[in-house]
A and B are shown apart, each in its own frame.
Chain A
Amino acid sequence: MPRKNYALSAIAILVSVVVFLVPFAFILLTAMKTQQEASLLNFSWPTQFRFVQNFIDVVQARDYMLIIAFINSTILTVASVTLMVVFGAMVAFTLQRKRSRWNGLINMFVLAGLIIPPAVVPTIWVLQKIGLFRTMPGLILVEIAFGLAFVILLFRAFIGTIPRELDEAAVIDGAGPARLFFRVILPLLKPVIVTSVVVQSVMVFNDFTNPLYFLPGDQNATVQLTLFNFSSQYSTQNNLLFMNILLITIPPLIMYLFFNRQIVAGMTAGAVKG
């Protein structure tokens, strides 16, 4: 058993504090300051604590925009991630099990979905044609379309580890394709479901570009967009800006505290060739 390297540990911890913790401490401290003090941009202990007042100000700003944004973001995240995972799992299952000459093409589409940058204005054009531009359902469908590929890859690798004999047994017991998948296979996919739900929730919640393009308008703002509205409106009100950053960092933080391992598993999938 090699000895622990204490000198190296001390250096590593010190550097990590300076590089990674100080920016977060700065967010926290500035969020507690008065407007004048926050505008100095100092990394210092607040002379007056205005945490509660800042919180109330941020929530009330622009007719409770932040509350509306949190509701919008929640709807967007829950709906798109749920459908993305169900549809993605269905594709991954069929792709993994069914032999067909289309498999090569479908695999190519999945990879294309990971690599190709979405064509923005043509997507808006399509959404307009089907009457879903500037609507929440439209944005939800867009998030699903862009997120599917990643989910399919995660699921396909996992479904490969489930023995085919199980499918055969279920079929002989009279299960059709839908029963087989939803009653037999899906419950076995719980680990990868948790992983993909958590990872994609963080992704969709933090998404800024797609709401910016496909769901413009203050009434429709998602949380990432409120951040921007604040920063332009309160160009000198750093305390409120940082309070806002703090508030929208809490959901990912909670996810990370509870699902640390699943997040890591999902994000490092593919690092080890299996």
Chain B
Amino acid sequence: MATTTVHRSARTRNSASAAGRVRAHSPYTSWFYLPAAVIYGVLFLVPTVIAFYFSLTRWSIFDSKFIGFDNYVTFFQEPGLISSLWHTLVYAVLTSGAKVVLGLGLAILLTSQIVGRGYLRSVVFFPVLVSTIGVGLTFTVLMNPERGLINQSLDLIGITGPGWLTDPSLALISVALVDIWKGVGLATLIYIAGIVSIPQEYFEAARVDGAGAWDNFRHIVLPLARPATVTVIILSLIGGLRSFDLIWAMTRGGPGFTSDVIASVIYKQYQAGFYGLSTAGNVVLFLVVTAIILPLSRFLNRKEVEL
């Protein structure tokens, strides 16, 4: 059909040269890449590449001087800096693990036969759209050790709540909890999209075979929602490793350096005028992110679904 109309309209125009030109020139032009390529190249690729050079310099507002690997030596020797690397990893693994588990659980709940499904979906998802800084400052107040709502409520049932953000061993985890609160809605939505795309026939067949709820979950939902799991893990790991806003709003890396992550170290060193050290932190973050995400996504995407 399409080809005949194409031929006829070409012939009615009666211009062999025009038809020839059409064949010679593709209607798709590389010029379309240009605006995006310029902006992306100048403001993303160039900085990413020159970061490797500047991380090897002592760099201030005025000039930069090549000093080899000194910035990296500083980064890996200073306890306050190297600890940020571990905090980043703990934070990312904690948040993305919790988002996978809670997101899957909530998604199964919100695709089952319960009342108020629409309300529950909206209320779980809405925090995703709220300003991270707003959420951070709100929870800073709620987590106030003496007067905060959380510890007041715990008092009512006879538990003395901890100093969520003031206890050095707890601050990072408290911020991670708020991150999970804010981000679990996205994981849930991704899982819901994955679960509703599973053909109902599988569940019907399973019912005929006498499968229970656990069998359904273990042998149908879990394997077939795998693309959703991959998406949630990758997205929340990327987000978690780069996380800055929430930590800055809630603790500014404190108490001490106990909740500093690489992204907050980058900002602190930048503010202090140590541009080279800040950039070295950036390169470390780059290497950490790519060293984790690339092999992981290759591994997760390689295994196809096995029922």
Is the CB–CB distance between A2 and B132 below 8 Å? no
B134–A249 touching, CB < 8 Å: yes
Cβ of B108 to closest chain A Cβ, rounded Å: 11
Which residue of the partner chain A has the closest CB to B121? A264
Does B263 have its Cβ within 8 Å of any Cβ on chain A? Answer: yes
Contact with A along B25-41 (1 / 0, CB 8 A): 01111111101110110
Q: How far apart sit A13 and B39, CA to CA, in the bound complex (Å)? A: 47
Partner of A41, one of B18, B29, B149, B242: B149
CB<8 Å pairs between A and B, sample of 8:
A13-B116, A26-B141, A98-B26, A114-B238, A117-B263, A119-B282, A122-B46, A228-B133
**With A13-B116, A119-B286, A208-B245 in contact, do A93 and B131 touch (Cβ < 8 Å)?**
no
A263 CB-CB contact with B under 8 Å: yes
The answer on a CB contact under 8 Å between B36 and A97 is: no
From residue B201, how far is it (CB to closest CB) to chain A in Å? 17
B45 at the interface (CB under 8 A from A): yes
Task: Choose the segment among B1-9, B76-84, B89-97, B161-169 that binds chain A (4+ C-beta atoms closer than 8 Å).
Answer: B1-9
What residues on A are CB-neighbors of B45 within 8 Å? 109
Known: A5-B112, A115-B290. A260 touches B43 (CB 8 A): no
Interface of B is mostly: helix
Cα A255 to Cα B133 in complex, Å, equals 19
Residues of B near A264 (CB, < 8 A) are: 125, 189, 193
Contacts of A171 in B (CB 8 A): 22, 27
Name A273's contact: one of B186, B227, B244 (CB within 8 Å): B227
What size tier do the contact residues of chain B reach?
35 or more
| Residues on the A chain within 8 Å of B32, using CB | 90-91, 93-94, 177, 181
Q: How far is the CA of A145 from the CA of B36 in the complex (A)?
A: 8
Chain A proximity of B238: nearest CB distance (Å): 6
When A113-B44, A172-B22 are in contact, do A119 and B279 touch as well, CB less than 8 Å?
A: yes
- Top 8 A-B pairs, shortest CB-CB distance: A119-B51, A122-B47, A98-B28, A9-B115, A145-B43, A268-B193, A90-B32, A245-B134
User: Could you say which residues of chain B place their CB within 8 Å of the CB of A169?
Assistant: 2, 5-6, 9
A217 at the interface (CB under 8 A from B): no
- Nearest Cβ in chain B — how far from A255, in angstroms? 7
CB-defined interface of A230-254 with B at 8 Å, one 1/0 digit per residue? 0100000010011001001100110
CB pair B278–A121 under 8 Å, yes or no, is yes
